[in-house]
Amino acid sequence: MLNKVREQRNIMGLSQKDLSQRLGVSRPTISNLERGIYDPSGTLILNIAKIFGKPVEQIFFIDNVKLE
């Protein structure tokens, strides 16, 4: 799964630690998510989208295909 988590996090001026604390996950989880080596749960995906104020399909992608 590909994502724009790093891009959105930077737009909001959040560090990986800041985002991890808001989500209740570890900082390495955010790092692994951003590098594409961790596929988040549905709950985590929804919580990330909520924090960024964006629809899920503007943040997460499968096999280089945008979900819209």
Band the pLDDT of 65: cuts 50, 70, 90: low
Residue 39 belongs to some domain of the structure: yes
Residue 68 maps to a domain: no
Number of domains in the chain: 1
Q: Is residue 66 part of a domain?
A: no
Which amino acid is located at 17 in the chain?
K
Judged against a pLDDT cut of 70, whether residue 68 lies above it is answered with: no
Extended strands (E) in 1-68 = 2-3, 60-62, 65-66
Separation in Å, CA 66 to CA 16, 20, 21, 23, 44: 24, 25, 28, 24, 19
Alpha-carbon gap, residue 3 to 35, rounded angstroms: 9
Do the domain assignments include residue 32? yes
pTM above 0.85, yes or no: yes
> What percentage of the chain has pLDDT greater than the value 70?
93
Confidence at residue 64, expressed as pLDDT on a 0 to 100 scale: 59
Q: Which residue has the higher pLDDT, 64 or 10?
A: 10
9 in a structural domain: yes
Q: Residue 30: which CATH number?
A: 1.10.260.40
Q: Does residue 7 form part of some domain?
A: yes
The residue segments making up the domain with residue 13 are 2-61
